[in-house]
Structure 1
């Protein structure tokens, strides 16, 4: 009986050591695009592999300069890993569109409380503004695609 108990305790201790070694720090708070793409390969790969059609590029170029987008995401979130690089790449054709990247932890929180103040409950959440007034959101995944959905939101509010 003592051998069984000792074996179980040893296995439990070994398992907790392995788990501890696998924990990585999750970034939270405002983040620069270059930091995201340089330190998170899955985001960088998605960014590099995404290509815009000529039509999509023309749509993004036509967005007014008073549009800005807050991007709430998790580096750990598969939806964020899929959608955030696409939007960042698309916005390269219109440098007038301001973006703010806000990384969240697994509880969808950040140190400044931005997610809580803006009622963000899912990742990614793209909050679209015109003249600093929220005009719409895309939560988790777009209906059609990010460009088409954002374009529809902008056109409805102009």
Structure 2
């Protein structure tokens, strides 16, 4: 019986250690894309980026449109939508003139130092486009058409309703 109890206690301890390690593996706060290209994140980051074909035809004016634009990418390393969309976004933007800040949230969708206070974040990932400090628009969780086409619509000032807005 003692051996059985020791085994059970050891098993329960090992489960809690794995859970604690998994929770601690989440990146938090302001991060860079290079951090997502390191283990353990590189597995999903490289897979998502590698499988995605960029619609280059939609991006013809991207450099000019990005002038003076800042993008805040709010994501969670635990979030399946972030794991899919964030690597794709960086693949799209790679080589273009882009000013990007990425903020990683915990599982309660909070940033450690209040980096997202006042941003109205409800879903991850959220890509917020600013020009002259004013929000142009945002892509929330999943694009409507594609990341490329939604980004261009936002940068062109076209009417755009993100995927989490109720249709009217």
Q: Answer with 1 or 2: which has the greater Rg.
A: 1
1:79 to 69, 78, 81: 81
1:148 is aligned to 149
Higher normalized helix content (fraction of residues): 1
Aligned mates of 1:21, 1:44 — CA distance in 2: 24
CA contact 1:108–1:115 (8 Å) conserved in 2? no
Change (3 A) 1:143 1:91: same
SS of 1:153 mapped into structure 2: helix
Structure 1's consecutive aligned runs of 4 or more residues displaced over 6 angstroms after TM superposition are 7-10
Shift in alpha-carbon separation, 1:59–1:144, aligned structure 2, 3 A: farther
CA deviation profile, 1:44-89 (whole Å, cap 9, x unmatched): 2222332323303424334231111100000110000010011101
TM-score (norm 1): 0.83
Distance 1:87 1:111 in 2: 24
| Map 1:54-73 → 2, pairs under 5 A | 54-73=56-75
* Contact 1:71–1:99 (CA under 8 A) maintained in structure 2: yes
Q: Distance in 2 between matches of 1:137 and 1:54?
A: 21
> How many residues of Structure 1 are paired with residues of Structure 2 in the alignment?
154
Q: Which residue of 1 aligns with 2:162?
A: none
- The answer for unaligned runs of 5 or more in structure 1 is none
TM-score (norm: length of structure 2): 0.79
How far apart, in 1, do the equivalents of 2:56 and 2:86 lie?
A: 20
For 2:48 and 2:145, how far apart are their aligned partners in 1? 18
Q: Does 1:90 align with 2:87?
A: no
Q: How does 1:30-49 map to 2 (within 5 A)?
A: 30-39=30-39, 40-41=41-42, 42-49=44-51
- Provide the secondary structure at the position in 2 that maps to 1:70: strand
Q: For residue 164 of structure 2, what is the aligned residue in structure 1?
A: none
Question: Counterparts of 2:56 and 2:151 in 1: how far apart (Å)?
Answer: 17
Greater alpha carbon shift after TM alignment, 112-121 vs 23-32 = 112-121
Report whether the alignment pairs 1:21 with 2:18. Answer: yes
